[in-house]
Amino acid sequence: MDTRQLEYFVAVAEELNFTRAAARLFAVQSTVSAGIRSLESDLGTALFVRSTKSVALSPAGELLLPEARLALEAVDRVRSAAAASSAGIRGRVRVGIFTNVGFVDLPGLFGEFHGLHPLVDLQLGASPSGSTGLADDVRRGRVDVAFMGLPIADLAGLEVLTLAETRFVAVLPSRHPLASRSTVTLADLAADKFVDTPAGFGNRVVIERAFAAAGIPREVSTVVGDLSEIPRFVAADLGIAVVPELTLDPPPGTVVVPLVGPVVEWQLSVVSRPNPSPAVAALLGLFRTRAARA
């Protein structure tokens, strides 16, 4: 068994497709297939269930995947430690982001990081299930670092750095009966239809728990995959919204009203697994520096 075989295995396990895995690794598909067969021979078990139409992990493959990821991360740490003294930190950092994090200067942040550590490759991607999916990606080793809107209580086992805290506010069409109010409560909004992000997004998890705790049902009639775009749908009179104030850039035709009784808090965090690689640790250090400046 060697690290290249483990790289082949992890790539196929994540892509569930030999062709895509080979392209991702800049390898020939036959080489990847041969490497997987050799690994299966060494281990004495099948790692994938193959058919003419699909590839799936076998039970043994499911057990091996997190261990293979940890092994490759350990190799990366060894390589980075050996190279750091002479050529600087090397490696790869996979970052999970929101679809649009306009309230965080991602280009500026990653540009600064690249200037400090030009030998580190950054790979950014979003999860269709929002913060819930990103937290699972970090736990399973598919992502190294992720921006997060889930409550800290939901992030057990992960290292958490809080970047910002804000409260939820109501976003209403300008002609809404409550638009002239100085504050509104969850109960005030219960009869309206809501515009919100998909289930699993951190902001929706937090606000749905607040409604549930108050014993108040609500109806989400319009689902938008980009948190920052929600106010535009409110302006189009498709419903009302309750969103974190930090994320808000209200367009004409909307009114923002503070939410009280209770005030619902939201945190923006960055999470990672414990004992990160030098490259990941360097990026987290930059996040901490940026948070201290704010």
Q: What percent of the chain has pLDDT over 70?
A: 94
Question: Quick check: helix, strand or coil at residue 80?
Answer: helix
Q: Which two tokens stand for residue 92?
A: 């790869």
- Within a domain: 172: yes
pLDDT of residue 232: 95
Last residue of a domain, one of 28, 59, 75: 75
Closest by CA to 101, choosing from 281, 269, 285, 282, is 269
pLDDT of residue 101: 61
Q: Which of 74-78, 117-121, 194-198, 290-294 has the lowest mean pLDDT?
A: 290-294
Q: What is the pLDDT of residues 153-174, one digit of tens each?
A: 999 999 999 988 999 999 999 9
- Within a domain: 36: yes
pLDDT of residue 256: 97
- Within a domain: 241: yes
- Within a domain: 115: no
Last residue of a domain, one of 75, 101, 116: 75
- Within a domain: 46: yes
Mean pLDDT, range 119-135, rounded to an integer = 88
Q: What is the pLDDT of residues 27-51, one digit of tens each?
A: 889 999 999 999 999 999 999 999 8
Place of tokens 């209200």: 250
Amino acid in the structure at residue 235: A
Task: Give the domain extent around 34.
Answer: 1-75
| CA–CA gap between residue 100 and residue 241 (Å, rounded) | 18
- Within a domain: 203: yes
Mean pLDDT, range 183-188, rounded to an integer = 96
pLDDT of residue 179: 96
- Within a domain: 39: yes
Amino acid in the structure at residue 212: A
- Structural domains of the chain, count: 2
CATH code for position 25: 1.10.10.10
Instruction: Give whole-number Cα distances, 122 to 64, 70, 226, in Å.
Output: 26, 19, 22
Q: How many CB atoms lie within 10 A of CB 65?
A: 19
pLDDT of residue 144: 92
Last residue of a domain, one of 55, 75, 95: 75
Closest by CA to 244, choosing from 288, 193, 205, 291, is 205
215-219 contact pairs (CB < 8 A, 24+):
216/186, 216/187, 216/190, 217/190, 218/189, 218/190, 218/192, 218/194, 219/193, 219/194
- Within a domain: 277: no
Give the pLDDT band of residue 242 (cuts 50, 70, 90). very high
Mean pLDDT, range 282-290, rounded to an integer = 89
211-215 contact pairs (CB < 8 A, 24+):
211/186, 214/186, 214/187
